[in-house]
Structure 1
Amino acid sequence: MRPIAFALIFGTVGASRVSFVPATTLSVLGMGFDHQVTPTPFSRFPSESEGTIRSDVYDLSLNSAGVAIEFATDAPEIYLNYTLASALQCYSMWHMPSTSVSGVDLYAFNDFSSERIMGEWLFVGHFGPPSTNFSGVIGNLGSVMKKYRVHLPLYNTVDEMEIGVDDGFTLEKSETLDLSQRVLWYGTSIAQGAVASRPGTAFTNVIRNSIGMDVVNLGFSGNCLMELDVAEWLVEVEGVSAVVVDCLPNMDASLVTSSTVSLVNKLRDAFGDQVPIVLAEGTTYGSAWISDDVKNDQEAKRSALTAEFNTLIESGMKNLFYVKGEDLGQGDLSTSPTVEGTHLTDIGHQYVADYYSSFLPTILQKYDKEN
């Protein structure tokens, strides 16, 4: 890919030489499998999963949802080149902006400024895709060594990415997370990131930035059905410290009843008793307060999941937890945090992230104390 640098958000591009490195040589977060075994550098399942799972799941696994690149640099300008597989997805969906479908945003760790609470990952700027081949720069960042994360597109496939700085500045791998301790999140379009305004505001990315633990986003839009052939690949992810099963929005009550126990047993057999497994109801639909059909459908699924959870507990299952939809802090119904009744606005993603950023460390510490 030929780099073509131009001013994107801040500053101007000078005449200095820019040196690029492949993003895969930096710290890659949110990947359950090494890029050497995946069909594209930031795909979420390995190439050999093709044909063993439904094609809809495999195709969605090519999307780079939840993947982030961490690095450190003292450069005042950061350049980014990336190539996308899908031209059709370079622009917005009817309910989701192109900034999150195919864009990349840049965050920095605030350990150098008193202007905001220190110790936070904070937004810096955005790289957006006018076409499948994108090149841009964010500048005016100062010349102090800082840690950065770029969050990759939620609904497109990145074929290639490289990050660059002007010659004379340092660009190096930053490893602030222990990748032997990760949360595995198996979910729906909501988990994949729909319909956040930017990748960094998708709740799995917010949780990672909040709790200091990597989150592997295995959200598959419309296709989280608790399938055992998908679970065969879930259990291949290494370094899993907790699993969240967040499939309810894609299922009906009968499928929940027929699938939950076998999926949880599969996960438990693979990961052992030491890994907490969370069954999650998911967020409440925006019109459930007025539509009996919507309310009854959601209540039926939740009741079915509760019943299967109780069955597992009664069978002696250890370290199994349950999250109710009402616990996800969706706020005042007059400002329902969904776009079209199902998928979350940024505020909705933040509500979910706030809850799990408190809940996940609690259940991990609970098990540590008991053992």
Structure 2
Amino acid sequence: MEKHNREEVSPHQLDQNMKAQNVVTDELTWHSPLDEPFRVSGLAWFESNRLYRRLPAVPDYPIPSAVDILANCTSGGQIRFRTNSRYISVRVRLTAGSGMYHMPPTGECGVDAYTGGPGNWLFAGTANFTPGQLEYESRLFVNENREWRSYMLNLPLYQGVKEMWIGLDSEAEISSPESYDSDKRIILYGTSITQGGCAARPGMSYTNILSRRINREFINLGFSGNGKGEPELAHLIAQIDNPACLVIDYEANSCGTEQYKKTLPAFIRIYREAHPDVPIILVSRFPYGAERFKPELVQERLERRDFQADLIQSLTDAGDHRLTFVDGTNLLGSHPGEATVDGVHPTDLGFMMMADYLEPIFKQVLASADQT
């Protein structure tokens, strides 16, 4: 019987299911998602850039260097297709490996897969790789029977993708995915929470959850620690064509109440000048876990919440009837800290709660806009 020093054996060594098991095989034919009939969505400038990037390769407006770097993170990027392949694998080359202390590598750097099609998306698998890898190959799904299925692959939330290939068996056929219900896109601008920190895998960020419930393209423009409402970002976002609505949720990065009172009205004004009739949804931030111990945080949040509500009401009174304010107090329920990993960033539970809360609001706003 093999003996081990208890202190030298890590728990993951004792369970094969907890080990990274990259699957490399020569049985597959590798396809570029850049080619037809694959569809890359969620990246507003993809057709002009042909890059896995969330902002233009060369923006028309100067942007902070941090935002420029974070734009390479592929949060919200999706690859959709139909195939009768028995295997679905990915080969990915990242801009960097994982390194966050409170977010799993599968969310930071991984790809996950859903199958079933609009209205019936079911989780199918997550890439399996060693934390820190810059390149990996992994099988996502095995289809025992050669039948046609729809697939949606969600790209990494907190790293960039330099190259990506999809591996299908050599006899597989491929066709285009189903169409969205509308070509009008839902655009979200915000912070690390919008970007997806700290979901365990890409499909569990709240914007990706909502994209499975609302059959439209979602554009995720969350910039971790750097969603500050700069006017240059408002101008860039206004360039995105076919907007169904704009969701603004950058309060957590607003650099204080006084600064927020300056940037938010200007941000809305810039966007409204370009899109006078597009619905705008403004979401205030949810309570952080530390608020139970620091009442000054509660006061600051409530002050900003009331400012946002008053701003939307004043703009509505002035004639803009396409504005919706969402009080974020209950986004994570009555015990918000329990739905976060660090008191601030949601876990998968927290993101599911956010999606549940926002889904009926989004649907109501979209339905109202579609009727006019």
Q: TM-score, normalised to structure 2's length?
A: 0.88
State the Cα distance separating 1:277 from its structure 2 match. Answer: 0.3
> Which of the residues 164, 167, 175 maps onto 2:167?
164
5 Å-filtered alignment, 1:291-306, equals: 291-306=294-309
Q: In percent, how many aligned pairs have the same letter?
A: 28
2:355 aligned residue: 353
Over aligned residue pairs, what C-alpha RMSD do you find? 2.2
State the Cα distance separating 1:282 from its structure 2 match. Answer: 2.4
Within the alignment, does 1:315 sit opposite 2:318 as a pair?
yes
Q: Distance in 2 between matches of 1:298 and 1:24?
A: 43
> Which of the residues 330, 353, 365 maps onto 1:363?
365
Residues 184-233 of structure 1: CA distance to partner in whole angstroms, max 9, x if unpaired? 00010000000010000000000001111111000001111111111111
1:108 aligned residue: 115
State the Cα distance separating 1:125 from its structure 2 match. Answer: 0.8
Within the alignment, does 1:49 sit opposite 2:59 as a pair?
yes
1:116 aligned residue: none
1:123 aligned residue: 123
Q: Distance in 2 between matches of 1:110 and 1:57?
A: 33
2:87 aligned residue: 77
State the Cα distance separating 1:133 from its structure 2 match. Answer: 1.4
Within the alignment, does 1:29 sit opposite 2:41 as a pair?
yes
Residue 11 of structure 1 contacts residue 140 of structure 1 at CA under 8 Å; is this kept in 2?
Answer: no
Residues 316-366 of structure 1: CA distance to partner in whole angstroms, max 9, x if unpaired? 2221000001242x2341862111111001011011111222111111212
Give 3-state SS (helix, strand or coil) of 2:58's partner: helix
2:8 aligned residue: none
The amino acid that maps onto 2:89 is Y
> Which of the residues 59, 71, 82 maps onto 2:69?
59
Residue 257 of structure 1 contacts residue 308 of structure 1 at CA under 8 Å; is this kept in 2?
Answer: no
Runs of 4+ in 1 over 6 A off after TM superposition: 8-14
Residue 83 of structure 2 contacts residue 174 of structure 2 at CA under 8 Å; is this kept in 1?
Answer: yes
5 Å-filtered alignment, 1:1-371, equals: 16=27, 18-25=28-35, 26-37=38-49, 41-49=51-59, 52-86=62-96, 90-109=97-116, 119-130=119-130, 131-142=133-144, 143-177=146-180, 180-251=183-254, 252-273=256-277, 275-328=278-331, 330-333=332-335, 336-369=338-371, 371=372
Distance change (3 Å), C-alpha of 1:258 and 1:205: same
State the Cα distance separating 1:269 from its structure 2 match. Answer: 1.5
Residue 44 of structure 2 contacts residue 219 of structure 2 at CA under 8 Å; is this kept in 1?
Answer: yes
The amino acid that maps onto 1:132 is L
The amino acid that maps onto 2:268 is V
Distance change (3 Å), C-alpha of 1:236 and 1:15: closer
Distance change (3 Å), C-alpha of 1:51 and 1:277: closer
Residue 80 of structure 1 contacts residue 136 of structure 1 at CA under 8 Å; is this kept in 2?
Answer: yes
Residue 11 of structure 1 contacts residue 139 of structure 1 at CA under 8 Å; is this kept in 2?
Answer: no
Residue 11 of structure 1 contacts residue 138 of structure 1 at CA under 8 Å; is this kept in 2?
Answer: no
State the Cα distance separating 1:270 from its structure 2 match. Answer: 1.1
The answer for unaligned runs of 5 or more in structure 1 is: 1-7, 112-118
Q: Distance in 2 between matches of 1:301 and 1:334?
A: 18
Residue 225 of structure 2 contacts residue 253 of structure 2 at CA under 8 Å; is this kept in 1?
Answer: yes
Residue 22 of structure 2 contacts residue 138 of structure 2 at CA under 8 Å; is this kept in 1?
Answer: no
The answer for unaligned runs of 5 or more in structure 2 is: 1-18
Q: Distance in 1 between matches of 2:219 and 2:182?
A: 10
Q: Distance in 1 between matches of 2:87 and 2:329?
A: 44
Q: Distance in 1 between matches of 2:323 and 2:101?
A: 38
Residues 154-204 of structure 1: CA distance to partner in whole angstroms, max 9, x if unpaired? 110100111121111112331332562110000100000000100000000
Give 3-state SS (helix, strand or coil) of 1:242's partner: strand
Q: Distance in 2 between matches of 1:162 and 1:321?
A: 41
Q: TM-score, normalised to structure 1's length?
A: 0.88
Q: Distance in 1 between matches of 2:151 and 2:20?
A: 17
Give 3-state SS (helix, strand or coil) of 1:78's partner: strand
Distance change (3 Å), C-alpha of 1:94 and 1:345: same
Residue 105 of structure 1 contacts residue 127 of structure 1 at CA under 8 Å; is this kept in 2?
Answer: yes
298-307 vs 206-215, greater mean Cα deviation: 298-307
Q: Distance in 2 between matches of 1:10 and 1:95?
A: 22
Residue 280 of structure 1 contacts residue 323 of structure 1 at CA under 8 Å; is this kept in 2?
Answer: yes
